Structure 1
Amino acid sequence: MTTPPTSIDLRVLAEFAERVRANVARVIVGKTEAIDLLLIALLCGGHVLIEDVPGVGKTMLARALALSLGLSFRRVQCTPDLLPNDLTGVSVYRPQTGQFVFQPGPLFSHVLLVDEINRATPRTQSALLEAMGEGQVSVDGETHQLPQPFLVLATQNPIEFEGTFPLPEAQLDRFLVQVRLGYPSPDEEVQMLAMLTGEHPITRIEAVVDGAQVPVLQRSLYGVRVAPSLREYVVKVAQALRAHPDLALAMSPRATLALFRAGQARAVLDGRDYVLPDDYKALAVPVLSHRLLVRPAAALRGRTAVDILAEVLASVELPLE
């Protein structure tokens, strides 16, 4: 059994994150927090659900990240007639050789943008489960490994529901974080217009880091120290959510692990080799809110997952060390 590293090169990780941040900021103005959440998901080997109205830069953010990392990028526009094989690929018969040859689908890329995922049917949505959870797909009885790193960025419009298929809880639980970009401030929007007086900045984006190093960086997170009291804190938050009367579905063990790992990644992005309570408090909403299901009676009273999270975080005592 391999012993995880006890220390990490913070300089390498901090430089990696800063280069990507600065490069993506050349295209996406004023969204440093969203960029950091994407980096956290990447370092944790997780995936991102971007939920926001059209036109705020979801697709451009995904493209800018992939280009900055120098990794392959594919985009899939989900529609009700999209089939699972349109994502995974198909086996094609070659008369010349008399054999079937597998033709990989869009899933075989490092960064995959699944646009308007809730417009795909449940059958097609489920094709993503194995890919997101196991890093592989099964086609015609054969298993094919996906390239590493593998990052799914799925978008959905929270306003328009006609002709959509809401993601089931099992699918939502596969996303490490949920990101909302929001509208830019007036100053940011003026800066955006100034940037777009000529050709789009995305045409000048080039790789600033070696994306092939990401799997090594992912393993280095094991060296980030988490105090025993902080581990207990994360579990106490999970237990408090599971006991909350306004929640029909609370925090799964997968969510507990997701929050734990995300805290380690946030510490690294902040130049630390140890996790602070503030890391978990800052990540609670993006990591947990999309996994919580509010009871209908509570929702009628105006209660939201974010409100319940804030209430629980305020009630659970923070460790002093």
Structure 2
Amino acid sequence: MIRAGEVVLAPCHEYQAVGGMAGITSASSPMVVVRNEQHGNYAYSQLFQGPAGGLQDRDAYNVEARKQWRWLDSVLGPTLAAAVKEVGGLPVKPIIARALEMGDECHNRNSAGSSLILNALVEAMFKTCRDRETLRQSIAYLSWADQFSLCVSMAAAKATTDAAKNIPYSTVVTTMARNGVDFGIKVSGLGEQWFTGPAQRVEGLYFSSDWGDDDAVPDMGDSAIMETYGIGGHVQAAAPALQQFVSGSFSRAVALTREMGQITVGTMDEYRIPNMDFATAPIATDIRKVVQTGVTPVIDTAIAHKKGGVIGAGQTRAPQQCFSEALRAFAAKYRTPGAA
């Protein structure tokens, strides 16, 4: 069907959407919808599938994945939709801000954010869901799916970064994404043009001794929208527990956060890091600063198995190549006529 043109493939980012890991989203997928109240644009993210990964048997993985997606579509999606409508929508920025204060960095660690969302919706779920078993399953899912809030944060990050697109002369990065082969970025002043480099291996911890580097694919997924926004790897010090994935330390986490401040335009007052005397989060990566300093964005990420599923977590870096190419393209586009 794909070869015949009956199914069209495109990056999620072309549809104001983001998807974690493989990022596969179709017309029937239940989605998180976030509205940027300041600029009026929308962004979307697939729901969190849940920890159904790590299966070595491809057929078994496919069966479990399809089963889970049908459940998300028929059970959780409608239940959450009714509850969100009942409460009039959730304010996402305050949830992210509180999650940072509670030990999340809102990419690899989302335990606090997911708990905040469950607390905000549970009463409305009881009011709107009449089927006891559906209610039980939905609450059980939100109780153990501690990465659920990532899909909400990703949509919020996408809605924010999309509003910063197409600003003439702006060198701010508006997209970072990877597919296990290439790492790509877009820059505000350069519109929708992709600049790519090789996706990097992930340094991290495997969830089982059965897995190793030979089982893993390089960095992949749209979740680097969090670092594009200025969360995740940019605020390492907010979630020092994640350093266990890379045999690191709290001082390393602080150093990484300060390093990200060298390549960003400014900070966001709403997002603060308690462990650094409530320092503000560094946001808006500038391609000029990346090239000048040689420092590339650090990405908090999961590790995917070649046959499907999540088998670990850790950190990686964006490749320098895409930033250098973007800066050359920027210079060519905005060079003053007649200048040397």
So what's the TM-score if we normalise by structure 1?
0.27
Q: Where is the strand percentage greater, Structure 1 or Structure 2?
A: 2
Pick 1 or 2: higher relative contact order, CA cutoff 8 A, min separation 6: 1
So what's the TM-score if we normalise by structure 2?
0.26
